[in-house]
Copies of this chain bind each other. A is one copy, B any other.
Amino acid sequence: MTVGYGAAIRDGFEHLMVKYPKVFTIGQGLWSPWYVGNSMTDLDRQFGRERVIDTPVSELACTGAALGAALSGYRPIMIHPRVDFMLLAVDQLVTQAAKWRFMFGGQVAVPVTVRAIINRGGEQGAQHSQALHAWFAHIPGLRVVMPATAADARDLLIASVLCDDPVLYLDDRWLYGVEEELGPPVELDLRQLGPRVVRAGDRITLVGAGYTAYLCRQAADQLHAAGVESEVVDLRVLNPLDHRVVAESVRKTGHLLVVDGDWSTCGLAGEVIAGVVERVEPVALRARPVRITLPDAPAPTSGPLERMYYPTVDALVHRALRLVGVQEDAG
């Protein structure tokens, strides 16, 4: 049956909590989850408030507590309704959880999953719109997952929680309504997962993650209509990042356009470009690689500026056509 991205996340929670008694979830808003859209509705009623714990406004301690429970035999899922709020917990996520196993010589596993929601737009402004997945992909020891489809939203959540390493799972509020046909949940080994070609093409490689992977697929349809066959790579797992799939694609297409819903400098788009040119001989590139990212500014609130701020399918299509050297008709 067709299920939306948000509902699919809830299916993932349900699968995990029904089957694994050691899984619990903790975070702000879980007893009235308007914060998290329809992705956790009534989990507290279904599984009880001992396993679905709403918390005080204490991001750092709650994240540390999730880590502590993970060291004690549980598989907690720590919820941050916004990436912005999670920044108060960076010490526990980056300096503690991500390094814990290493600091103790690999003697302990740290099966904690931190889920944060990227929730842009809605005139919320600079402090409720940060994505920053590039930050966390930068940290050895922290796996970073970013689903772009309903199936991945559900199955990558399951894979994250079943993984014995700390995982940051970043879902995107702008995808909650996107529906697709879903089979039953599957349990995948996160260590085996990575970037995937979600549409084959030979003229240009489009790369995105999460919401921007969704944009790339839409752009690919329009490009097809314009006679340009693009290959779309959905990165899915940002850390550890496997560059081979994209590199392979670019060897074929010679054109690379990377789209990211985060800032440019030291961001994901630049990383993908660097990873490709490290691997692909310059001669194989038919043009300079291009990245489309957020402008170098915090998120504005004013509607008109907000509409200019985020990448759009049209912008992708125009840029892609220019890149492959196709003239657009003035119409």
Contacts and interface: CB of A to CB of B under 8 A. Distances in A.
Contacts of A91: 87-88
A84 interface: yes
Contacts of A98: 298
Contact of A103 (B99, B240, B279, B298): B298
Contact of A271 (B126, B140, B265): B265
Interface string A71-98: 0000000000000100110110011001
Interface stretch (A13-21, A110-118, A289-297): A289-297
Contact of A267 (B60, B266, B281): B266
B139 A263 contact: yes
Nearest to A128: B95
A248 to B, nearest CB: 15
- This chain: copies in complex: 2
A88 B64 CA distance: 13
Contact of A127 (B99, B262, B270): B99
B270 A140 contact: no
A273 B278 contact: yes
Interface string A278-290: 1111110111111
A168 to B, nearest CB: 13
B278 A265 contact: no
B277 A289 contact: yes
Interface in A192-248: 238-241
A268 B289 CA distance: 18
A315 interface: no
Nearest to A258: B274
Nearest to A277: B277
A8 interface: no
B125 A103 contact: yes
29 contacts: A87-B90, A87-B94, A87-B95, A95-B127, A102-B126, A102-B297, A102-B298, A103-B126, A134-B138, A134-B266, A135-B138, A138-B262, A138-B263, A138-B265, A140-B295, A141-B298, A240-B265, A241-B265, A265-B271, A270-B275, A271-B271, A273-B274, A274-B274, A277-B285, A277-B289, A278-B291, A282-B283, A282-B286, A282-B288
Interface of A: 60, 84, 87-88, 90-91, 94-95, 98-99, 102-103, 125-127, 130, 132, 134-135, 137-141, 238-241, 262-263, 265-271, 273-275, 277-283, 285-291, 295-298, 300
Given A87-B94, A270-B274, 19 more contacts: A84-B95, A99-B127, A99-B298, A102-B126, A103-B126, A134-B138, A135-B266, A138-B262, A138-B267, A140-B263, A140-B296, A266-B268, A266-B271, A273-B278, A274-B277, A274-B291, A277-B277, A277-B288, A282-B288
